[in-house]
Amino acid sequence: MLNTTSRRAFLELAAAAGVAATGVTPALAQNVALKDLLAEQALPDVWEGQANAPVTIIEYASMTCGHCAHFHETTYPVLKSKYIDTGKVRFTLREFPLNPPAVAGFMLARCAGEGKRSAMIGLLFAQLNNWAADNNILQNLSKLVRQTGMSEEAFNACLSDRDLYAKVTQVYDTAAKKYGVNATPTFFINGERVSGAMSVEELDRKLAPLLKG
């Protein structure tokens, strides 16, 4: 059963996230120096690909963003097989939650256990319409994450973790205030800002000149 602590924590997340989302007025930055983007974040980046890859892609996404889910369903598999797994690109996804359910989703992904965050994010994107489409978000999330082996106790503890919540929102604040992120998905490809869910064709066009030779 979902305990009252996790329910109360989720309501507090909702109130706090509403304040955070309306309290940021970022300056629009088209491009950001890669060294600035790679500065230490409130939460450690989870990288895919080789550290010495010639191209670095950082994605800012929200767990309830339909365009983000579409990118991860259609373009990301090609990005991974064609570019990440072949040593051409290293990639990370950073938290930019646009609402309380997205905060909760990212918190659960961080609580999934070592090496499981990316898989949890993939699951939440794939099942977005099944867990975020009604008012039973906590119950839906609880049922969904059981597929990953997360217990009800661990679920409740995760959503009650105020320190984790603060760090997720700090990643959001840094992106908005320092890097000018104001929508999802937003990508930085070697520092160049690309807004919107890239198609496979758009991804290929962006990467081709960076991978010549």
pLDDT in tens, 175-190: 999 999 999 999 999 9
What are the respective helix, strand and coil percentages of the chain, to the nearest 5?
Answer: 55, 10, 35
| Predicted TM-score of the model (pTM) | 0.89
Q: Are 119 and 156 in contact (CB under 8 A)?
A: no
Cα 143 from Cα 129, distance rounded (Å) = 14
Q: How far is CA 195 from CA 93, 198, 212, in A?
A: 14, 8, 23
For 4-194, CATH number out of 3.40.30.10, 3.40.50.300, 2.40.50.140, 3.40.1180.10 equals 3.40.30.10
Q: Over 50: is that where the pLDDT of 139 sits?
A: yes
Q: Over 70: is that where the pLDDT of 145 sits?
A: yes
* pLDDT, tens digit (0-9, with 9 covering 90-100), for 28-50: 558 999 999 999 999 999 999 99
Cα 139 from Cα 128, distance rounded (Å) = 14
Q: What is the pLDDT of residue 3?
A: 52
The rounded radius of gyration (Å) of the Cα atoms in the chain is 17
> pLDDT band for position 134 (50/70/90)?
confident
Strand partners, 56: 90
Domain ranges of the chain: 4-194
Strand partners, 93: 59
